Amino acid sequence: MTKRQLPVPAEMLELMQFKKIELNGKKRRLDAALTIGDLRTIAKRRTPKAAFDYTDGGAEGELSLSRARQAFEDIEFHPSILRPAEHVDTSVEILGGPSALPFGIAPTGFTRLMQTEGETAGAGAAAAAGIPFTLSTLGTTSIEGVKAANPNGRNWFQLYVMRQREISYDLVKRAAEVGFDTLMFTVDTPVAGARLRDKRNGFSIPPQLSIGTILNAVPRPWWWVDFLTTPKLEFASLSDTGGTVGDLLNAAMDPTISYDDLAVIRDLWPGKILIKGVQNVEDSVRLVEMGVDGIILSNHGGRQLDRAPIPFHLLPQVVREVGSDATIMVDTGIMNGADIVASMALGAKFTLIGRAYLYGLMAGGREGVDRTIAILRDEIERTMRLLGVSHIGELEPRHVTQLTRLVPVTRTTGEAARLV
């Protein structure tokens, strides 16, 4: 029989340690966020629907986005046992320079609409973390403003080749002059994808807001105060080029861009050049033959062609074909540090995060972006330790299996469709 006794207050106090109350509301909510999904939940609560959906949504039925995320969930890790990994090194050498983590911040447009610190928060957080930050052509902080926010870190510039080519050429020259080290030429936007959430929310130029959208925004006074008491929202690097915001958006989507444009940009740019939006092996081979430094397998975060190829699925094929001749990166669908570890194991040299960064920004400005990076860093380190891996360079294809959910169907002459 267990001997019974009256509770001893001193012993009870040893078992019950009360958590210190955090009076800072922003810090309290960010500390409570343990995953990128948690940051997304906070972001959705704090941001008007039109702005949140612009970030969160994809094209048409959003199949490209959901499939990309599902692909990362459909993996199986293969850990090695009795391989101590007490200290892990997450740093990589990428395009001739260091990064403390195997990911950087992807280019995003309209960023200050999500939260008014915008690219300044992203660039500052990237600088503090020792990772690259990428500014979009359609960014809401200027090239020079990002350089000021990240004066000693690695800044990359994403380029849309616009109908007025001289505008794009001038942006290339400005980025080079202030010391951006890498140019990211985006090639998957000959026309804009059909982003139905934006249309339903009246998120257009000029805005055509519904009563529901307005009512959704009213109970978020903190967003309105920030939006109305900070500088005008504009495409900062294009502010002196003339035309309305709508004109600039239309000019940024040009169905006439070609390999000839790539050759011109390559001649103008003195640093490393990446091609973003590559979606098959054949184009990867041709780009490497043209001498590009790197390829980003991406379907634009599922925001352009719906039902586009899944970048993570393409990764092993492209690495086999051209991985020894160019730097292969991947984006779209990354929501966990384990997604990044899996990508690196299958041959990617680097990854990029877009929505994950913006969820943090909407959840808490600069501190929210810091929290995004901290969450991903913790997940990367924990996954590596559990795999028995001490350095990113030790990750290999044997550590990951891509499980099959979507199986291609091929047809051969005289035969019915068969699964392969």
For residue 159, the tally of other CB atoms under 10 A from its CB is 25
Residue 354 labeled ligand binder: yes
**What is the identity of the amino acid at 214?**
I
| The overall pTM is greater than 0.85 | yes
108 class by beta-carbon count within 10 Å (0-12 exposed, 13-18 middle, 19+ buried):
buried
Residue 136 labeled ligand binder: yes
Could you tell me where the beta strands, DSSP code E, fall in 62-149? 75-77, 92-94, 97-99, 103-105, 133-135
Six token digits for residue 9 = 């207050």
**What is the identity of the amino acid at 42?**
I
| CA atoms of 82 and 171, how far apart (whole Å) | 52
**What is the identity of the amino acid at 147?**
K
Is it true that the peptide bond before 206 is cis, omega within 30 degrees of 0? Answer: yes
Instruction: Give helix 311-322 / helix 337-345 axis angle, nearest 10°.
Output: 30
25-404: CATH, from 3.40.605.10, 3.50.50.60, 3.20.20.70, 3.40.50.410:
3.20.20.70
φ/ψ of residue 128, rounded to 5: -65, -35
- So what's the pLDDT on residue 243? 63
- So what's the pLDDT on residue 418? 40
The widest CA-to-CA distance across the chain, in whole angstroms, is 88
Length of the chain as a residue count: 420
Q: Is 277 left (phi over 0), alpha (psi -120 to 50) or beta?
A: left
- So what's the pLDDT on residue 217? 77
- So what's the pLDDT on residue 332? 96
Q: Specify whether the CB–CB gap between 334 and 72 falls below 8 A.
A: yes
Residue 210 labeled ligand binder: no
Helix (H) or strand (E) run with residue 37 in it: helix 36-46
Residue 377 labeled ligand binder: no
Residue 221 labeled ligand binder: no
C-alpha count within 13 angstroms, C-beta hemisphere, residue 97: 15
- So what's the pLDDT on residue 325? 95
> Which residue among the candidates 300, 313, 391, 399 is catalytic per the annotation?
300
Residue 313 designated active-site: no
Residue 20 labeled ligand binder: no
| CA atoms of 51 and 81, how far apart (whole Å) | 46
Residue 54 labeled ligand binder: yes
- What's the average pLDDT block by block, 10 residues per block, for the chain (420 residues)? 83 76 88 97 94 94 96 96 90 97 96 94 98 96 96 96 92 97 95 88 68 79 87 84 65 87 96 97 96 97 95 97 96 98 98 98 98 98 97 97 84 45
Distances, alpha carbon 133 to alpha carbons 115, 154, 337, 390, in Å: 17, 6, 18, 26
| CA atoms of 364 and 303, how far apart (whole Å) | 25
**DSSP per-residue string spanning 307-367:** T---HHHHHHHHHHHHTTTSEEEE-SS--SHHHHHHHHHTT-SEEEESHHHHHHHHHHHHH
Closest CA to 294 of 157, 136, 133, 182: 182
| CA atoms of 411 and 417, how far apart (whole Å) | 5
Q: Specify whether the CB–CB gap between 172 and 159 falls below 8 A.
A: yes
